[in-house]
Structure formats: C-alpha cells, structure tokens
Homo-oligomer: A and B are copies of this chain.
Amino acid sequence: MTLTAPGSTETSPALQADSSAGGPVAPSPARGLVCRNCGATFGLIAEHACAECFGPLEVDYDPELMRAVSRELIESGPQNIWRYAALLPVGQDPADRVTLDPGMTPLVRADRLAAELGLTGGLWVKDDSANPTHSFKDRVVSLAATAAKRLGYSKIAAASTGNLANSVAAHAARVGLPSFVFIPSDLEPGKVVQSAVYGQTLVAVDGSYDDVNRLTSELAETDEFEDTAFVNQNVRPYYAEGSKTMGYEIAEQLGWRIPAQVVIPMASGSLLTKVDKAFRELVAAGIVEATEWRIFGAQSAGCDPIATAFDNGWDVVKPVKPTGIAKSLNIGNPADGPYALDAIRRTGGAVGRVDDAQIVQGIRDLARTTGVFAETAGGVTTAVLRQLVEDGRLDPAEETVILNTGEGLKTLDPLEPVVGPTHRVSPSLSSVRAAGLIG
C-alpha cells in the first residue's frame, strides 16, 4: 500500500517508522477509498468526502487479501486490535503504529440481566470501558493516528466533548506527538481535567460543540494546520475503520460466531455500520459461518434523529438540536445516519429511544446485574434493550450482545441525585442495630 502524503511531507522524528522492528509484515488489504454514495474510487488519500459528489469516502479492500486471513493468523496476534491488522487499512507493521494498544475488551456474560428481562437465548455485554482511556474511541484514534503518520502528518487534532478528547491527548502523550484538542469552554471541570492532564494543547472554545466543529473544519484549511490530521475529518475513512474491531472481537470471543442480535448506541451512526461491516467481512473472508444477524440501534429521546427517520420510514435523517444527559451520543446531524438505517433495515432490526430517567435506570440495571459501570451511552443501550424486549421487537430466545462504549466514572453527575448509601449509622453496634442491619 502507498498512502499519498498531504501538502507537507515533513515528519517529526517521533513519527519515523522504527525499522529495527524487523520481521515479515503482512500487506495492507486496503487498495483505495471508495465513495459510499456514487462509487467513485480514489487512492489512499487524506480526504473524507468524494471529489465527485461530496459523498462519504470509505476504505476499499482487496477481497483476495481479505480471504487469505485465517482464524489462526488472528489468534496468533497480540491481545489488542492489532490482531486484526490484516483486515485493517494501516498498522500492519508494529513499528508504524501510533497506539495505546486498545481492544480485546471483555465480553461479559450477563446472565442476571438476561433473567430479569426474560432473555433465554443468552445475553452478553461487550465492555469497551476496559480500553486504555475507557471508551471505544481508543480504537478509532489508534487507526486515525497510525494513518496520519503513514500519510505524512506530524500532528493530530480533534474537536470533542469528552471521550475523543481524552483518547487523542493520551495517544499523543504516549508517542510524543503534538496534538490539538478543541472543546467547548463550558465543559464540566472533571472532563477538562481528563483531557488536560496529558499536557497537550487543549483549546477551550466559547461556543457549542457545533461551533467547535465548524472552527476545526476552518482550521484544517489553514497553512498552520496543513501538517495536522484531524482524526474525524481529513483521516476519517481510516479512523472509522477502527470500529470494525469491536465486531471482530465479538465474533471471536463467542468462538467465531456472529450473534443473532446486537444492540448498538448511535451518535453519528458510524459504529453501528462498522460492526455490521465487520460481520459481513468475516463471512466473506470465510472466517465465520454465514448466519443471519439483526442490528438494533439505540438513541436517547434528547437526540433521536435516526430513530425518528426509522419510525417514519425515511431514507434521510432530519437534523435535531440535541438535549439530554447522553452527551457522548448528542450528534444532531449524524453523518452516517442513512447508512445506519440501511444496516438496521437490511438485517431486520429496529431502533429504540429512551428518556433521561430510563437512561439512568439503564446504567443502574447494568451495574446491579453485571458489575459493569457504564457511562450514559451504555445506559441508553441497556434501557433500549429492555424496551425492545418489552415491545416484542427483539427475540428473547436468540443470543444477544449489547455494546457498552464508555466508562461510568466519566458521567457521574446524573447518578448523584439518585444513588447513595442504603443506610447511615454511627460507629457502634447499637446504631447498626437501630438501622436494622443486625437484630
């Protein structure tokens, strides 16, 4: 694979490949980018929009190279996303990787939650709070940063309100790569600390997340940021492929089997489309048996444009102004919404939406029955699972996997008013007795 460098080809010393790693390196299966809208093809360039129709660009793979990948090859790899390097666009050579080595997060058997909901086919939680910065964003940032290096960029950047900011700054800190993270200035102090602690450039912008996003789009066009990869803008096609690894891992951790039903939270909708794509790729490569699966999407009522489009049978997604506590899902104009709708409809799935009270209850239900403490997005998924079961849209007799994409420690605020000590006592046996804990 040859990636075309952007304007600036100067790279910092930290970005030079360590050729001392040696050993044989598998080829990348990526042969170019393809427009998901019009099908126009391009080289492996640093663009996310089609020059013909402005449609979104996606990585295009050589099917023969994909078919050459075996279970054994994957199983002989490291315990992280790079075990799937032969199915990814970049990172085949360990020396090329800019990464915290995320992935191979636990697939937790959720028997107690299954019993409560009446699910008899088996229920699992794919828990991405176990990633290095405790969200699934580590997967996409590892791909974006690695692609950025291969494309000749010397800096990385992102607009974010939380998980992405943490991950970009931590990746940059690990390898000594300059990074620029742009956040709305009214973020909670805790979230600011989580990104600022890595000692990278952190820019507070007086405006909404949409304002921040618009500003970074403008900055990407300036001379000063010519050598900067904005992880979910100019290297987005590579970035997005990181989400496929969550699908690969679910299948591998089930013993190389695709689950019948998967419930996935939706912000831009990208993660959902990539999990579906991962399953299709595994089937096409002959790595798993071709079984049927259904993909379900989860949104919060405060930001439900994909749910609304699904309910109304629309192919397009009408933007909304997001509200509500599931901030990591609050993308009002989801770039991959139409593609998410396609995957859901094609597989016979559905979309659920839940309000803030249900989200908090979802976090509590998951923690109480599995010991997994999810951020609000995980609460959305758990609450939507319950809703889908109650509505009869999810088959309780089929095996089901739900995705937890982030860590509860990052979104404590909505829980503070509703969870607390069950008893309060003085440090004496008589006080404990009065509280009813002992007779």
Residues of A within 8 A of B (CB): 79, 100-101, 104, 106, 108, 112, 130, 132-134, 169-174, 176, 180, 183, 185, 189-190, 192-194, 196-199, 201-207, 211-212, 214-215, 218-219, 222-225, 363-364, 367-373, 407-410, 412, 415-416, 419-429, 432, 435, 437-439
Are A424 and B215 in contact, CB atoms less than 8 angstroms apart?
Answer: no
Q: Most chain-B CB neighbours within 10 Å: which of A171, A206, A425, A439?
A: A425
Contact across chains for B437 and A203 when beta carbons are under 8 A apart: yes
**Most chain B beta-carbon neighbours within 10 Å: one of A100, A169, A421, A437:** A421
Top 5 nearest A-B pairs (CB, nearest first) are A199-B368, A174-B371, A170-B371, A204-B421, A211-B427
**What's the minimum C-beta distance from A361 to chain B, rounded to whole angstroms?**
11
Name the B residues within 8 Å of A193 (CB-CB): 412, 415-416, 419-420
Q: Which residue of B lies closest to A138 (CB)?
A: B371
Counting chain B CB atoms within 10 Å of each CB, the highest count among A180, A215, A223, A367 belongs to A367
Distance in angstroms from A39 CB to nearest chain B CB is 35
A219 touches B112 (CB 8 A): no
Partner of A206, one of B104, B212, B372, B426: B426
* CB–CB A422/B371 < 8 A: no
* Cα A104 to Cα B106 with chains together (Å): 12
Q: Which of B197, B211, B419, B427 contacts A408 (CB 8 A)?
A: B197
Scoring A169, A372, A407, A410 by chain B CB atoms within 10 A of each residue's CB, the highest score goes to A372
Question: How many monomers of this protein are in the complex?
Answer: 2
The reply to whether B438 and A225 contact each other, CB–CB distance below 8 Å, is yes
Would A427 and B215 be within 8 Å (CB), given that A203-B421, A371-B174 are in contact? yes
Query: Is the Cβ of B199 less than 8 Å from the Cβ of A367?
Result: yes
CB-CB under 8 A from A373, the residues of chain B are 133, 170, 194, 197-198
Complex CA–CA separation, A123 to B370 (angstroms): 36
Additional A-B contact list (15), CB under 8 Å, known A173-B369, A194-B412: A133-B373, A171-B371, A180-B437, A189-B412, A189-B416, A190-B412, A192-B420, A196-B415, A201-B437, A203-B424, A204-B424, A205-B424, A215-B425, A215-B428, A224-B438
Looking across the interface, which residue of chain B has its beta carbon closest to that of A199?
A: B368
Give complex CA distance A409, B368 in Å.
21
Smallest CB separation, A122 vs chain B (Å): 15
Given contacts A133-B373, A224-B439, whether A427 and B170 have CB atoms under 8 Å apart is: no
A427 engages B207 (CB within 8 Å): yes
CB distance from A165 to the nearest CB of B (A): 11
Output the residue of A133, A196, A202, A212 with the most chain B CB within 10 A. A196
Q: Are B79 and A422 in contact (CB under 8 A)?
A: no
**Given A133-B373, A429-B219: A185 and B419 within 8 A (CB)?**
no
Choice from B189, B194, B225, B367 contacting A197 with Cβ under 8 Å = B367
| Contact status A202-B363, CB under 8 Å | no
Given the complex, which residues of B lie within 8 Å of A183, measured CB to CB? 421
Please report the C-alpha to C-alpha distance between residue A372 and residue B416 in the assembled complex, in whole angstroms. Answer: 27
Alpha-carbon distance A410/B176, docked complex (angstroms): 25
Complex: how many Å from CA A420 to CA B420? 30
A204 to chain B, nearest CB (A): 4
Residues of B within 8 A of A171 (CB): 371
Within the complex, what minimum Cβ distance (angstroms) separates A221 from chain B?
9
- Jot down 28 A-B pairs with beta carbons below 8 A, ordered by A: A100-B371, A106-B132, A134-B134, A170-B367, A170-B371, A176-B369, A193-B416, A194-B409, A194-B412, A197-B368, A199-B367, A201-B437, A202-B420, A203-B421, A204-B421, A205-B425, A206-B425, A207-B426, A211-B427, A215-B425, A215-B427, A219-B432, A219-B438, A222-B438, A223-B438, A223-B439, A224-B439, A409-B409
